[in-house]
Amino acid sequence: MSKVKVFAMYLPQYHETEVNNKFWGKGFTDWVSVKKAVSLFEGHEQPRVPMNNYYYDLSKVESIRWQAEIAKKYGVDGWGIYHYWFNSNDRTLTKPAEILLNNKDIDMPFFFAWDNASWKRTWSKIQGNDWAPNADSKVERKGPEVLIEYRVGSEKDWRIHFDYLLPYFKDTRYVKHDNKILFLIYNFSSEILRMVEYWDGLAKKNGFAGMECVFSYNPMHGIPKSAYKFRYEPLYSGWGGFWDRAKRLVFRNIVQKDIKLFSYDKVWKNLIRNAKNCHDNRMYYGAFVNYDDSPRRGKKGKAIVDGNPALFEKYLKQLLAICEKKRKPFVFLTAWNEWGEGAYLEPDQIQQFNYLEALKRAKKG
């Protein structure tokens, strides 16, 4: 049995919120995009349908309890819950984490992954997350381009944020590594680094060994070698290396006419090679189940094709062996329930529990 823990990333975008209703229409959740997906090429499995048509609502405790029960049964060691904190006044998609905090009987370790960026309209050239491109295409190009503004803020704001998170950090289920609080951060900046240092002091004052803040790896962001990092997969291995991504940034205004396809086998082989060749003892590795963001982006999306549970099991087993050899305590897996990006372990009508069974076997070694 592998000693390496598998943490599956967890999307909370499956409950009605004031923000969703305002930006994309009453009742919008990621299920809306998933249900409206269409097949774009021969053999394209869209729309994806949850097994037994279980389009759950994450504002309900029974939905989260069901998720936790099957996750634990098949070997998921914890959830990395996406955290949407924009500034001291604005946050959203908090309900699932609140339910976990208030229901101690739900036996699922968890930590937060802070997606620290503004939310913007798809057509805006401002940096940030364009959450629902297909829904945006039906909105007139007027009004604010930035939907919610992300601001790093000052020490006062950092303290407000930390105090908000502290009840979660103190929960016995919240993941700590050597009594350091695990906290992922997607977008690095010098201001964020100062915030992390400030938080580290607050964590120690509250009885922890400090913060283990892990940044999404990007060679262009100047992340210090001393910082913890993780390679988000399949993005890093799937869409090419550093120069390929740089070229796409330069030519990003060129209109993409067809969905971009990538080989499941090739992406995983790149991922395994990168992990084998990495000698940074502060780099954690990512893995993925599958990927297809056409429910959100249509023909402007990307998809990894020809994947299956057998290949997933084969390569995940290899990655866990590499991690064990290099003494990496955990892997970040994309994802538990990213249905809008085709990255999910949850059972669907076609594969049912096959990917979960593959995960369980891979961990047994």
| Model pLDDT, residue 241 | 52
Q: What single-letter amino acid sits at 12?
A: P
Domain extents for the chain?
5-364
| Model pLDDT, residue 109 | 98
pLDDT lower than 50: segments of the chain: 242-243, 249-253
CA separation for the pair 198, 226 (Å, rounded): 16
Contact indicator for 110, 80 with CB cutoff of 8 Å: yes
| Model pLDDT, residue 145 | 86
| Model pLDDT, residue 80 | 98
Between the CA atoms of 153, 158, 163 and 167, what dihedral angle is there, to the nearest 10 degrees?
100
CA separation for the pair 122, 332 (Å, rounded): 28
Residue 45: strand, helix, or coil: coil
Name the nearest CA neighbour of 359 among 322, 321, 309, 318: 309
249-302 pLDDT, tens per residue? 444 445 567 899 999 999 999 999 999 999 999 999 999 999 999 999 999 999
Share of residues in the chain with pLDDT > 90 (%): 81
How far lies 229's CA from each of 57, 100, 197, 199, 222, in Å?
33, 27, 16, 17, 12
| Model pLDDT, residue 219 | 77
| Model pLDDT, residue 86 | 98
| Model pLDDT, residue 253 | 47
36-63 pLDDT, tens per residue? 999 999 999 999 999 999 999 999 999 9
Name the nearest CA neighbour of 63 among 111, 33, 96: 96
Residue 256 burial (10 A CB sphere; 0-12, 13-18, 19+): middle
CATH H-level superfamily of 5-364: Glycosidases (3.20.20.80)
| Model pLDDT, residue 246 | 53
**Paired tokens of 152:** 């790093």
